[in-house]
Structure 1
Amino acid sequence: MINKIAKPGCAWLMAASLWACAGNSQTTDCVPMPEAKPLTGETVKTEVDALLPRAMFVVDGKLGIYKEREEFMFDFYTLPDFKFLCSTAPRGQGPDDLIGLECRNIEVSGTTFSALEHMTWRLKTMKLAGDSAMQVVHTSKPLDANGAINMFHRLDSLHYLSLGSTSNQKEFCIYDISDGSAHETGEYPEWIDPATLATGMPLLIPYGKFLAVSPDGNRFAAFYWHFDRVRFFDRDCKMLMDITTSHDSNGKQEDDDENKLPSCYFGVKAAGDKIYALHADSDSTRLLEIWDWDGHPKSVFRLDRPVTIMTVDTKTRRVIAKDAEHSNEIYLYELPGDY
């Protein structure tokens, strides 16, 4: 992700945060986060290295790890004992091959999982057959990508939520997979003076975000990369809540280069009836926030190590995570009963 965005540095970001907490008409609340509790993980050594893991998910009692740059793009392990099953999904254009996936959200439904394939812009539904090979069981019509599609989250059987295009017109896009059509909607925030942006910079970049959709598909949350801001919307992209969060550590990662934006949110996962979000601490991505769908932060945990991707096993109440540096390790965090 490109971080060099603003011309005069990050002073505008502090001003934006103060303005939001002052009680403007667009902000519902300025919310102090719960005190971060320490959480220590268990390290599991894996049989197979994942050199560039981009996503993790739990399907049919198994852990899947998506590896974007490798010859076989998925590794699967049993749960809860992490016994290696297979490396599968070869790179290619065959019926059960993959070119690459929009991996920031891999949807799970029963024994199948689905994701949008890059370049073809088709939604592929897959399953693990015989614990040994990935099979594609359904492929949608190609979507109207308008250059590219960023993120892809299921609202219902026909409609998927994505980010708006680089045209700067709208913040979100809803796709209809029955005919491949796209409908852009929703206005961008006004947290940045447009004059501070580099010439030609699409608003998609400074207002980058991770999305999470509620189990019933009737609302979604947006956690912004460069802001301590969380917004909740209904399925038609009408804003329900605009929340500015306040962290005791004030722990946004900043660079010595004053022209770089701070990094706040690094990843979001909807699981069960909660939202799990990774937030930067003072030195790395170590904070795990847990939110409910009414816009309340319920718990914050300070992890014992930096992590880059995660998923949640709701059956065992564990967060499963990896980092980019240790290719043969998985980290397990058992959540307390009252989280």
Structure 2
Amino acid sequence: MDSIEVPPVLLSVTRMFLSGDRLVAYQERNDTLFSFWKLPDCKFLYAAGVRGEGPNEFLMLDRNFQEKPNGFSSFEIQANRIKEVEALDDGTFRITSCRSVNTDLQPLNRLLMLADSSFCFVSDNEEYEFTLLKKDGITHDFGNYPLRLLQEEADTPHRFTYNKLTVAHPDGSRFAVFYAYVGLVRIYGADGTLQAESVLPEKKTVSGEERTVYYRSFPYATSRSVYVLTQEADMTLLEQWSWKGELEKRYVLPVAVSSFVVSESNNRMYAVSPEREDRIYTYRLD
């Protein structure tokens, strides 16, 4: 691990992702929502994007961003809108497209942008986990809950009992599901077909919490692998999963991190820690 000293502007980083050769930090609590950093040396470029209801402003955003070479796509939860952003190295930052998602359903939780202009989100149907929304507005519920793996209460919806974190493949052909409180990982195709499922060994409760926590931080996906943080005792670990649902590697991290990205082009992970606001930590992956 190495660390790079940066201007102390990385306050409360909600999510990190890549845009070409730039690292982007989304900070939903800040007045300016995005900061941009040039890779591989993590040189600060600029901050841009403000909260508001104007055409070039943002309402509350979902934490899943679709990466693009010169920008990204984001989803406004309150308005059911997709906003596409162009962000260049010279400081140019503008919203190039704003379109409504073709549905009256709201809110759309854990929205994923999939292939063929379709979307996936957590269903409010107690029988199914997800809803697939096609570009023509037709919806299809799919995915059986892993019932009886956790204590279920009659007045608690399954979507809360079986809370999960999701991330889509960069080309939208599939997505991965990591369950927060049960050792289960699933891979679904963009059509809703379950492609793979892995059950993890049971582990003890960590951090003095009543429930065992397997995954609490949003995963990050590349074309080859899916990466996700987990905790064991006092160790923070990075897990690397294949898109076949196989656990390939586990890295023990010397510093607890809260958000990260993986750059396949230089085989490094870039991460931030809640303990230091003036550092970006870099890890060379094997």
TM-score norm. by structure 2 comes to 0.91
What pairs up with 1:1-339 in 2 under 5 angstroms? 41-103=1-63, 105-129=64-88, 131-144=90-103, 146-165=105-124, 167-176=125-134, 178=135, 182-192=139-149, 196-246=151-201, 250=203, 252-255=205-208, 260-266=210-216, 267-283=218-234, 286-336=236-286
Q: Secondary structure at the match of 1:230?
A: strand
Q: Secondary structure at the match of 2:276?
A: coil
Per the TM alignment, residue 307 of structure 1 is displaced from its structure 2 partner at its CA by 1.2
Distance in 1 separating the partners of 2:281 and 2:101: 37
User: Unmatched 5+ residue regions in structure 2?
Assistant: none
Give the corresponding residue for 1:13: none
Once the two structures are superposed, what CA deviation does each residue of 1:290-339 show, in whole Å capped at 9, x if it has no partner?
A: 11122221111010011111111111111111123322221111112xxx
Equivalent residues, number:
285
Q: Which has the higher contact order (CA 8 A, sep 6+)?
A: 1
Per the TM alignment, residue 181 of structure 1 is displaced from its structure 2 partner at its CA by 5.3
Contact 2:67 2:170 in 1 (8 A): no
Give the corresponding residue for 1:17: none
Alpha-carbon distance change, 49 to 113 in structure 1, aligned in 2, over 3 angstroms? same
After superposition, the CA RMSD in angstroms is 2.2
User: Unmatched 5+ residue regions in structure 1?
Assistant: 1-40
Distance in 2 separating the partners of 1:91 and 1:47: 22
Per the TM alignment, residue 180 of structure 1 is displaced from its structure 2 partner at its CA by 5.2
Once the two structures are superposed, what CA deviation does each residue of 1:133-188 show, in whole Å capped at 9, x if it has no partner?
A: 421111122453634222122221411222212x4242011223x45554332221
Q: Secondary structure at the match of 2:14?
A: strand
Contact 2:109 2:122 in 1 (8 A): yes
Distance in 1 separating the partners of 2:66 and 2:10: 21
Distance in 2 separating the partners of 1:63 and 1:111: 12
Q: Secondary structure at the match of 2:277?
A: coil
Larger Rg: 1
TM-score norm. by structure 1 comes to 0.77
Per the TM alignment, residue 116 of structure 1 is displaced from its structure 2 partner at its CA by 0.6
Distance in 2 separating the partners of 1:115 and 1:181: 22
Q: What is the identity percentage for the equivalent residue pairs of Structure 1 and Structure 2? A: 25
Alpha-carbon distance change, 157 to 246 in structure 1, aligned in 2, over 3 angstroms? same
Alpha-carbon distance change, 171 to 127 in structure 1, aligned in 2, over 3 angstroms? same
